[in-house]
Structure 1
């Protein structure tokens, strides 16, 4: 392979024409011969540039609605020929094939077409064939050919040519080739994933996963781990699509915790009122609804003031000035919200390290997306937990039925428990968590932890008794024994929501009746590992 390779002839065929004219002008100024197709050729000509149509080179017109235009030996031979191989050079001379030193191609907008909800036939027509074929050919022959698949690389290409008198280095071409193969892989992944869904194939034999680099991170969960952040192209509102208005660069743990916070707060429809979730280490330390956003924040903060320090705050409505004033009273890592008032932005601007992320929307908690977890030698793939339980889904199994306020708190607690690491026990009173027990190895331990946190809340707020007294209690999975349930009753819980389904359900129901509890079954669990 030759290190320095001059660019004398370029083939340009792009769907996204952003920056096309400027690139063509820069190449032409260096004496590069321009070949092109269709709309790309037309735009370059309108800019006054000399362009040869690929159809004139191949001797075949574009046909079949543009499906066939570059699939020809005079194109692929020009891309694939090894310039230092005498047999390749002889074949080029014999068949009138000119070398192509630069390929600039971006693909039909398949992902965008799918995102717009286009029908099956329209999506099929937006699957590019000639583009990926040319890209793969040029990338394979990166010893002689530079391939650019993203407009963000135009300036780097021109800088290379400026530095090397119209040529590119092998190292640069290798980098472009890697990017090119990643792009075609991501494109094929998008097509195969869409098609699996379109034909109802829930577990395709092969599954492709792709992402686009959003941010190189300083490190991962710990300083000795390398890490990076990629977007998946779904456009789901959240940390991956948010605009960061201020603050330090997000860390790996910031991103993970912010996602957990925003997905949790999205469970609460903003049309029904303000909600706030405060997260620490991917677990909620306080969640609440309120008449105002600042009230929701204060109630969430009061649940566990100690853990809230250095936490992540997620809001289901735009951040206002009054709430911003309360948030900045303590150290907070990240605030994520659908929007923010100018007053709130001004207040936050005094806290330079506080990250403010705006999403312009909430993720739909009822829309399933694919979730991945890596294990040694493989991937676990499942639908995101979008299980929903409403009043009509609840089955009262005790002699005592919950009243209206208890039902409201039970459903609130159930939404929160869905986002707490298992085993999960959540105490709720008046639309706010008052104790959260997360990630314990037994349900009894989680009930103990949640009760202890409620006692600490009472001490911090100067309350005369634990706020768990009179609370609604949620368990993310069934009680295998009555001990966890009785611990919740001892803490002051008056009603319980749980999936049911244990071999000892009757024993647990009997214990609830004897303790004077109301209990409902959901028939659905929310394990979260």
Structure 2
């Protein structure tokens, strides 16, 4: 039976109504500081914590509830005769319910440009301590940390006069989940303040649920989408869905792949992606021209794909895109005319990401789950190693070829390895991703449209050539310049082959495997 409840909240949503309902059932209300004032102003009888402890709040409110008369009342096991004897001797009364939410640390640090001192002052000490004490003793104490649970608890009390042990257990679990999340946010905030590039000995991660998904990669798999707290505004989690069916697991994964590639470009650029691999990409003076070129790179694979654009979608671009079925279009904005055109297609998902070109911070972790562990690395933010980048052949690339080489390297960087990309005039001519042999990747990139289209193009490889066979095939297909990391023990054989055929080749010194 609940006789005494301690209430101390920073988010006062619904707290007066809850306290009134408890008081109407004869439950005594204990409270602190601002919460006590809110409840008193609402006409409720409130006992101040300092009247229980016999000790005033001090140190600007830093010490309020850290006292044996509070924690003894929470931690005493009611069925333990020795516990009950001790608290009686010490003048401690049991506390049967705790309703607490914590200082708004997350809201404080997400404001941006917050001073360290302000962040520190919003680290709650007494709240988590009481929550954990009550949750540890969940069989005897009802603990509520989430305002969404207020009505559920009241309904159960109204129905049975008490709270079931099953509900108490669930509420206790939510407390430890909440305090763990809270502490992880604090640790991450402080870690980010350190002027060090390091991987901690222990890594705690915290994410918040965005939505349930219909299923995972396949219909028999369950899936959920979580977001990282404080994630960069240019991330997919910040995107707004303007139209269409709910996103699937594959939609989100594929859109993220297209978005990561799009961030490589400042000029008007469009990426068409399928299964997180680029199948078409182009840059141009207008977003419409970039889209047309990207689509024409591979119109067959474009069907049912993802389109990512780094400029506002206007009506002319929307008209072109409306001719094809796409799963998702994601852009920084749309004109109303463009929306009117695209929304006629009920199955397309239209996403808006305001800061779509924002780069990820250099210290952002890139993570991949493996069975029983987690692989963590820095994001692959580079493209070339400026100190090692050099032309290694007798023929040098022209300025236009050099622009296309850089363009092609950006594309292949975001294709599954082994990967090869061909480009001409800032447009992909062919992409060969995800092959176990590099020469096979090149043949795929070339064979899709044939040698007529590849003539005069350039080629980028995500890793070095182990043999000169790729150069031989490049020559047969009319490829005029190659960019690759270099570093093979047979580099000279590839260089000699390029010199034989008059092909320019540039070494970058930076590999771009992607698995």
Q: What is the TM-score normalised by the length of structure 1? A: 0.89
Per-residue deviation at 1:381?
1.0
CA separation of 1:118 and 1:48: change in aligned 2, threshold 3 A = same
- Mapped pair 1:79 → 2:74: yes
Alignment partner, residue 203 of structure 1: 199
Alignment partner, residue 458 of structure 1: none
Q: Secondary structure at the match of 2:295?
A: helix
CA separation of 1:144 and 1:385: change in aligned 2, threshold 3 A = same
Alignment partner, residue 96 of structure 2: 101
Q: Distance in 1 between matches of 2:320 and 2:397?
A: 35
- Correspondence 1:310-325 to 2 at 5 A: 310-325=304-319
Q: Distance in 1 between matches of 2:320 and 2:26?
A: 62
Alignment partner, residue 214 of structure 2: 218
Q: Distance in 1 between matches of 2:445 and 2:404?
A: 16
Q: Distance in 2 between matches of 1:54 and 1:454?
A: 78
Q: Secondary structure at the match of 2:201?
A: coil
Measured against aligned partners, the alpha-carbon deviations of 1:340-384 in whole angstroms (never above 9, x if no partner) come to: 222233333322322222222125335231122222322111111
Alignment partner, residue 5 of structure 2: 10
Measured against aligned partners, the alpha-carbon deviations of 1:286-309 in whole angstroms (never above 9, x if no partner) come to: 111222222222221211222111
- Mapped pair 1:239 → 2:225: no
Q: Distance in 1 between matches of 2:158 and 2:222?
A: 34
Q: Distance in 1 between matches of 2:349 and 2:274?
A: 15
- Correspondence 1:451-462 to 2 at 5 A: 451-455=446-450
Measured against aligned partners, the alpha-carbon deviations of 1:193-244 in whole angstroms (never above 9, x if no partner) come to: 3334434361222111222222222322122222222111132233222222
Per-residue deviation at 1:24?
4.1
Q: Secondary structure at the match of 2:218?
A: coil
Measured against aligned partners, the alpha-carbon deviations of 1:70-96 in whole angstroms (never above 9, x if no partner) come to: 212222223223333333333343333
Aligned residue among 449, 458, 464 for 1:472: 458
Q: Distance in 1 between matches of 2:345 and 2:44?
A: 52
Are the aligned partners of 1:193 and 1:207 in contact in 2 as well (CA < 8 Å)? no
Per-residue deviation at 1:505?
2.0
Aligned residue among 509, 512, 525 for 2:495: 509
Per-residue deviation at 1:133?
1.6
Alignment partner, residue 355 of structure 1: 349
Which moved further from structure 2: 113-122 or 484-493?
113-122
Q: Secondary structure at the match of 1:467?
A: helix
- Mapped pair 1:136 → 2:136: no
Q: Distance in 2 between matches of 1:26 and 1:429?
A: 72
Alignment partner, residue 504 of structure 2: 518
CA separation of 1:519 and 1:24: change in aligned 2, threshold 3 A = farther
Measured against aligned partners, the alpha-carbon deviations of 1:18-62 in whole angstroms (never above 9, x if no partner) come to: 444454455445554333223333333344443332222222222
Alignment partner, residue 142 of structure 2: 146
Q: What is the TM-score normalised by the length of structure 2? A: 0.91
Q: Distance in 2 between matches of 1:74 and 1:10?
A: 14
Q: Distance in 2 between matches of 1:141 and 1:511?
A: 76
Count how many residue pairs are aligned between Structure 1 and Structure 2.
511
Q: Which runs of 5+ in 2 are unaligned?
A: none
Aligned residue among 435, 455, 470 for 1:484: 470
- Mapped pair 1:250 → 2:236: no
Are the aligned partners of 2:385 and 2:509 in contact in 1 as well (CA < 8 Å)? no
Q: Distance in 2 between matches of 1:281 and 1:114?
A: 36
Q: Which runs of 5+ in 1 are unaligned?
A: 1-5, 456-464
Cα RMSD between the aligned structures? 2.5
Q: Secondary structure at the match of 1:501?
A: coil
Alignment partner, residue 292 of structure 1: 286
Q: Secondary structure at the match of 2:238?
A: coil
Q: Secondary structure at the match of 1:175?
A: helix
Alignment partner, residue 193 of structure 1: 188
- Mapped pair 1:50 → 2:41: no
CA separation of 1:384 and 1:7: change in aligned 2, threshold 3 A = farther
